[in-house]
Structure 1
Amino acid sequence: MRKLILLGFLGLVLLFSGCDNQTTNGCSDSGLKLVDYNVYPLEKIYQGDIVAFAFWLENKGSSTAGNVKVDFFDTPGFDVTRLECQENPSGGKECNLGEILSEEGCLGEMRQVKTELRARGSGDNTVSFAVIYNYHGNSLLSFGIWEKNSKNQYGNKRIGSTYGPVKVEINPGFLMSRIVDDRKQTTTEWVEEGQRFTVNINVRESGNFGQSSSKTSISNFKVKLNYLEPIADGKCDFILSGEYLVPKESIEVPTKKPLKCDLKANDNIGQEWITGGIEVDYDYEYSFVKQQTFKINTE
């Protein structure tokens, strides 16, 4: 399968080349981040008192957060009396914020959430709320493909990833390499036309960012190949669907073992070298839980 990866692929190579764990212009893998989290009062709470939560959700990743919800799903010892989202008032325990946009430099939109709870229980009680939203991710690995038996083969791999709480890692271990500077320990990496190899792909969460727990559900997981194709008699955890490879089974996050596929660089590339690559595009629902414990006094 010969598939040219167009502007999106090239743009990501230019924008996100290098390591994916760096922070640039305020970007972060937190996705939606709790900002200015305030709870009051925290102490000397009595039955009948009102406890207030106020915080902002800021989009620090590189995708629009869609279908954003805040759900005070577990409030033992308290009744939710008021829940308000900025410009989107809501009743009950769940608040819908719609979309929170990402902007250039990851200086994304911010939305405020306020709630009031009235204490009715006694002793220690833990209030739990979840932040739930949809997000998009993209990861790529690009490299040079050289004519077989060419002299002075060389290349620099490019690794790129969007910012968000879920990462896809494409292991570049299959690339041929040569040390070009012993003192600096620098290498050059590439593949040859017709070369057969196995690619390993892992999916992981980028970090818990202080929440009590998190949950991820992956969808629309698609792999594009550029000047590569699956080996007909090889092993692969993906199947061909139109222009893409899609997983045969649902994906757990984190993956317990890598998703594997035997691939081959195209034969007879028709020139000295070309740029090949692997790009993974995916959507996911992500949620995290924040908890706050109070002691309610009876007198």
Structure 2
Amino acid sequence: MRKNLIFTIVLLGIVLFSGCVGQPDQKVEYKDEALKMEIKFPDKTLPNQIVKMKVTLTNQVENYVTNISLRITDFYGLTLIDQTCSDGKDIPNCGFISERCGCYFDSIQSLDDREVNFVFRVKGEEELARIPRDLKPEITLEYSYSGETVFFVPILSQSERSTKAKISTTQTKGPIHVEIERGLTQSSDQWEINGTAFPIIVWVKDKIKPDSKRTISNDSFKITLINLEKAGEGVGRCDFENESNVLRPKEDVELPMKVPLICTLVGKLPEPKPWTYGMIIADYNYTYTVVKTETITVETVIS
């Protein structure tokens, strides 16, 4: 009996261990909202009360988010009396309203989070008489991030004329995307012939707030060409300046874009290969801003 019990326990342990080891790794789903801001704040209070706001920042992309600042940009009838920034730094010198107004973090790594806590005092009845009783503090989040888009197009030799390879694109997650397409050509094939000119179309889009106005500076946006080159003078249009195999927009990119950037390229197949991939690699850095407004109603005290 005792031997059977020991055997059963050992067998159960093996099964449990095998089950744990055999579980496939869960796939992480990254999101375009690179830094998620969750705010917990009461919706009602009374005059002269203490209220607390908890803000959680979560990195939802595969790379570090950097230069993060979280500020109270409109106190709207509230007085900040304390704040904690986990491992961040206080943002000082906020003018006459408050000595502090938020927190700064150098970086937050992928899937990690940071917590910020604010403590406010609500105005008294006399001061509230001069403003609406629905208080709407404004919270502004700003951070730096970078993205990459890679556009692959097969380049065939003059004699090859066919391949199973096709045009494809990879894109990192983040609020700003660069979308690259091949423009209209005489052929509908999923490749280009070496030495033949073809246009590319480049759109820069805000995937979170498509209609918001933002600027991507031309010195923070570059395209690197591999097995491709900019077409010569007089061959097609190009909205980029080039230095060797690197292209940069001639001007800053204003979002939302009304018209795309266009550039005419030529395949440059290394000899003696029958075909290879031409690669268009777009790298871009930007600062992203998110503004949220919370509402808290100050109820009247009935005596």
Rounded Cα–Cα distance in structure 1 between residues aligned with 2:290 and 2:51: 22
Task: Determine if contact 2:155/2:193 at 8 Å carries over to the other structure.
Answer: yes
Q: After TM superposition, list the pairs within 5 Å mapping 1:54-69 onto structure 2.
A: 54-69=54-69
Structure 1 position 172 matched with structure 2 position 182: yes
Provide the alpha-carbon RMSD of the alignment. 2.2
Equivalent residue, structure 2, for 1:47: 47
Structure holding more strand per residue:
1
User: What is the identity percentage for the equivalent residue pairs of Structure 1 and Structure 2?
Assistant: 27
Q: Matches of 1:261 and 1:46 in 2, distance apart?
A: 61
Report the counterpart of residue 96 of structure 1 in structure 2: 104
Q: Answer yes or no: is the 8 Å Cα contact 2:182–2:199 preserved in 1.
A: no
Contact 1:63/1:164 (<8 A) preserved: no
Hey, what's the Cα distance between the residues in 2 that align with 1:46 and 1:268?
74
Deviation at 1:30, TM superposition (A): 0.7
Q: Any idea what SS the aligned residue of 1:252 has?
A: strand
| Superposed displacement of residue 269, structure 1 | 4.5
Aligned positions of 1:249-264 closer than 5 A: 249-264=251-266
TM-score by length of 1: 0.78
Q: Equivalent residues in 2 for 1:177-192 (5 A)?
A: 177-178=188-189, 189-192=190-193
User: Residue 118 of structure 1: CA displacement?
Assistant: 1.5
The separation in 2 between residues aligned to 1:173 and 1:294, in whole angstroms, is 51
Q: When the two structures are superposed, what TM-score results if normalisation uses the length of structure 2?
A: 0.77
Q: Mark the CA change 1:84 to 1:214 in structure 2 (over 3 Å): closer, same or farther.
A: farther
Displacement of 1:63: 2.4
**2:123 equivalent to 1:113:** no
Runs of 4+ in structure 1 over 6 Å off? none
**8 Å contact kept, 1:141–1:172:** no
Per-residue CA deviations over 1:70-129 (Å, capped at 9, x if unaligned) read: 010012111122222112352611211221112xxxxx2110011112211351221111
The structure where helix makes up a greater share of residues is 2
Structure-2 residue corresponding to 1:28: 31
> Larger radius of gyration, structure 1 or 2?
2
Q: Which gives a bigger RCO, structure 1 or 2 (Cα 8 Å, sep 6+)? A: 1
* 2:73 corresponds to: 73
Q: How many angstroms apart in 1 are the aligned matches of 2:145 and 2:162?
A: 43
Counterpart position of 2:8: none
Cα pair 1:47 1:119 within 8 Å, conserved: yes
Partner of 2:250: 248
Q: What letter is aligned with 1:283?
A: N
Deviation at 1:135, TM superposition (A): 0.2
How far apart, in 2, do the equivalents of 1:89 and 1:202 lie?
A: 37
By how many angstroms is 1:268 displaced? Answer: 7.2
* Equivalent AA in structure 1 for residue 198 of structure 2: F
Contact kept? 2:221, 2:249, Cα under 8 Å: yes
What CA deviation, in whole Å up to 9, does each residue of 1:35-62 have, x standing for no partner? 4x3112x12x222112211121111112
Query: 1:242/1:141 Cα in 2 relative to 1: closer, same or farther (>3 Å)?
Result: same
Q: Is the 8 A contact 1:51 1:116 kept in 2?
A: yes
Q: Which 5+ residue runs of structure 2 have no aligned equivalent?
A: 1-26, 93-99
Say yes or no: does 1:152 pair with 2:162.
yes
Show structure 1 runs of 5+ residues with no match.
Answer: 1-23, 103-107, 179-188
Q: Supply the distance in 1 between the matched residues of 2:89 and 2:121 (Cα, whole angstroms).
A: 19
Distance, in Å, in 1 between the alignment partners of 2:122 and 2:244 is: 57
Note closer, same or farther for the CA distance 1:128–1:147 as it changes in structure 2 (3 Å cut): same
Whether the aligned pair in 2 keeps the contact of 1:191 and 1:265 (CA below 8 Å) is yes
